[in-house]
Amino acid sequence: MGKVVKPGPLARRPDNSAFKQQRLPAWSPMLTANTVLPFFYITAVVCMLLGVWLLLTVQSTQEKKMDYTDGTCNKCYEKRKNVSSAAEPCYCTVDFSLEKAFTGNVFFYYGLKNFHQNLRRYMDSRDDGQMVGRKYNLKNPSSYCTPFDKDANGFPIAPCGAVANSMFNDSFSLFYHDSSGKTHPVHLLRQYITWYTDKNVKYRNPKMGNLTLPEVFNGTVKPLYWQKNVYNLDPSDPTNNGFINDDLIVWMREAAFPNFKKLYGILNRDISPFDKGLPAGNYSIHITYNFPVQYFRGRKEVVLTTLTWFGGQNHFLPIAYLVTSSLILLLAIVQTVVWWKFGKDGKNMEE
């Protein structure tokens, strides 16, 4: 047998190569005023140009907001305080005018203020297995939905959870009054307002087989604050019911801030006189009032707006670019003054 040689202390040393011994050539920039100051000025100019461009883009959008918490709609809130008349429908009207026509596609939103959809416990109060159509979860809601998983009689709630239970359920009808006194209903497209992945992947109805949708949901009950069952949310379109209802899907995507708006419909431009958008003139919104907000000191509004490639009237990013460019420019000027005072060679800095 050969003699076993024990490895020496240098046996684990890396190979003597430029890569493993870290002898590869490296470049270390020399930061001088001639290289740093132009970079700051160029960055400030670029940010300023982007900010001005985005600001002009945002200002090209048209927007009209109408708060209907008070006024004529306040009577509905007072009516719903009375338990005996709380279940009766209540209607109110909001009148407004457009001084300038809204050209192009017009989007109709409803907005809520002081409604916190971003609370952790609220966001967790849902059953994603139920929303993708699993029949087991349909009859056996997740414990995350408690106390909105079953009603007082023990029947499972579909859809369960606090998010679905608090779904916004006011409805709107928009009318245009032309100069001749004629009233035109403004038709809104109420479908295809959701993300494709939500409508086709994240939310699905249970497999029906030979059953109808009401038969599939047999044995379940609607959430406590709903007026309709989930399989009858849109009586005019059977394909827009159940867990794939557009309004339900839009509501289930929780907002990040307490003040938010959600899409309700898009102007149908195939019908005259709205082929180019909303003409200037007088309008009225007929509201079916179902969602009181005074209990949590909230506010309700409707928003009509046009959109650009950048979105709606959101000034955050343009202002952020302009503020950033101002700070960078100020810093560049300070550095220039310091460099000019102490000189390029820095001899004055020794004094």
- Residue 345 pLDDT level (bands cut at 50, 70, 90): low
pLDDT of residue 2: 58
Q: 84 pLDDT exceeds 80?
A: no
Q: 56 pLDDT exceeds 50?
A: yes
Hey, what amino acid is at 183? T
pLDDT of residue 349: 46
The residue whose two tokens read 């958008």 is 277
Q: 113 pLDDT exceeds 70?
A: yes
Q: 351 pLDDT exceeds 50?
A: no
Q: 204 pLDDT exceeds 70?
A: yes
Q: 242 pLDDT exceeds 60?
A: yes
pLDDT of residue 33: 83
Which percentage of the chain shows pLDDT scores above 90?
63
Q: 112 pLDDT exceeds 50?
A: yes
C-alpha distance from residue 72 to each of 58, 87, 258, 289 (Å) = 32, 19, 25, 11
**Residue 82 · residue 314 · CB < 8 Å:** no
Q: At what angle do helices 33-59 and 316-342 cross, to 10 degrees?
A: 160
Q: 65 pLDDT exceeds 90?
A: yes
Which runs of E-coded beta strand occur in the chain? 63-67, 90-98, 102-103, 106-113, 171-177, 183-186, 188-189, 260-267, 277-278, 281-289, 299-306
SS3 call for 125: coil
Q: In sequence order, what are the beta bridge partners of 304?
A: 64, 108
pLDDT of residue 21: 82
Looking at 76-90, 175-189, 200-214, 314-328, which range is the least confident one? 76-90
Q: Which H helix or E strand runs over 340?
A: helix 316-342
Q: At 26, list the tokens.
A: 């490296």
Torsion of CA 308, 314, 317, 320, to 10 degrees: 150
CA–centroid distance for 197 within its chain? 15
**Residue 59 · residue 305 · CB < 8 Å:** no
Mean pLDDT of 247-258: 95
Q: At 203, list the tokens.
A: 């939310």
Q: What are the DSSP calls for 66-117, one per residue?
A: EE-SSGGGHHHHHHHHSGGGTTS-EEEEEEEEESS-EES-EEEEEEEES--T
Mean pLDDT of 261-286: 94
Q: At 9, list the tokens.
A: 């202390």
Q: 87 pLDDT exceeds 80?
A: no
pLDDT of residue 350: 45
Q: At 59, list the tokens.
A: 């200002």
Q: 138 pLDDT exceeds 80?
A: yes
